[in-house]
Amino acid sequence: MRGVSGPDLRRAAAERAVALVTDGMRLGIGTGSTANVFIALLGARVRDGLDVVGVPTSEATRVAAEAAGIRLATLEELPELDLTVDGADEIDGAMRLIKGGGAALLREKIVAFASRRMVVIADAAKYVETLGAFPLPIEVNPFGLGATHRAVEAAVAAAGCTGRVVLRRNAGSEPLRTDGGHHILDAHLGRIPDPEALSAGLWAVPGVVEHGLFLGLATGAILAEARDGAAHVT
Ligand code: 5RP
- Among protein residues, the one with the nearest Cα to ligand 1's atom 1 is 102
Residue 154 burial (CB count, 10 A): 12
Question: Is the ipTM above a cut-off of 0.95?
Answer: yes
**What's the pLDDT score for residue 159?**
98
Residue positions forming the annotated binding site for substrate: 31-34, 86-89, 99-102, 126
- Å from CA of 103 to ligand 1 middle: 8
Q: In what order do the strands lie in the sheet with 81-86?
A: 53-56, 26-29, 81-86, 115-123, 220-227, 230-233
The stretches of 82-160 forming alpha helices (DSSP H) are: 105-113, 145-158
**What's the pLDDT score for residue 230?**
87
DSSP lists the bridge partners of residue 118 as: 84
- Give pLDDT tens digits along the chain (234 positions): 468 889 999 999 999 999 999 999 999 999 999 999 999 999 999 999 999 999 999 999 999 999 999 999 999 999 999 999 999 999 999 999 999 999 999 999 999 999 999 999 999 999 999 999 999 999 999 999 999 999 999 999 999 999 999 999 999 999 999 999 999 999 999 999 999 999 999 999 999 999 999 999 999 999 999 988 888 998
CA distance linking residue 30 with residue 28, whole number of Å: 6
Mutate which of 9, 10, 34 for ligand 1? The one with the most ligand atoms within 8 Å of its CB, which is 34
**What's the pLDDT score for residue 115?**
98
**What's the pLDDT score for residue 197?**
98
pTM of the model: 0.96
- Å from CA of 118 to ligand 1 middle: 14
CATH code given to domain 136-207? 3.30.70.260
Burial (CB count <10 Å: 0-12, 13-18, 19+), residue 17: buried
**What's the pLDDT score for residue 4?**
85
- Which residues neighbour 116 within 8 Å (Cβ) at sequence distance 6 or greater? 80, 81, 82, 83
Ligand 1: which atom is nearest the Cα of residue 105?
Answer: 14
**What's the pLDDT score for residue 3?**
85
Q: Give me the catalytic one of 90, 108, 139, 210.
A: 108
**What's the pLDDT score for residue 55?**
98
CA 208, 210, 212, 218: dihedral to nearest 10 degrees? 150
Ligand 1 shell residues, CB under 6 Å? 30-34, 86-89, 99-105, 108
State the span(s) of the chain assigned CATH 3.40.50.1360.
9-127+216-226
**What's the pLDDT score for residue 109?**
98
DSSP state of 84: E
Helix (H, G, I), strand (E, B) or coil at 155: helix
Q: Which of 89, 168, 155, 77 is nearest to 125 (CA)?
A: 89
- Length, in residues, of the chain: 234
Gyration radius of the chain's alpha carbons: 18
State the span(s) of the chain assigned CATH 3.30.70.260.
136-207
CA distance linking residue 143 with residue 166, whole number of Å: 17
- Å from CA of 64 to ligand 1 middle: 15
Ligand 1: which atom is nearest the Cα of residue 33?
Answer: 11
- Which residues neighbour 115 within 8 Å (Cβ) at sequence distance 6 or greater? 28, 81, 82, 83, 84
Q: Which of 36, 34, 35, 70 is nearest to 53 (CA)?
A: 70
* Protein fold of 9-127+216-226: Rossmann fold (3.40.50)
- Å from CA of 53 to ligand 1 middle: 22
Ligand 1: which atom is nearest the Cα of residue 100?
Answer: 14
**What's the pLDDT score for residue 2?**
66
108 is a catalytic site residue: yes
Ligand 1: which atom is nearest the Cα of residue 30?
Answer: 4
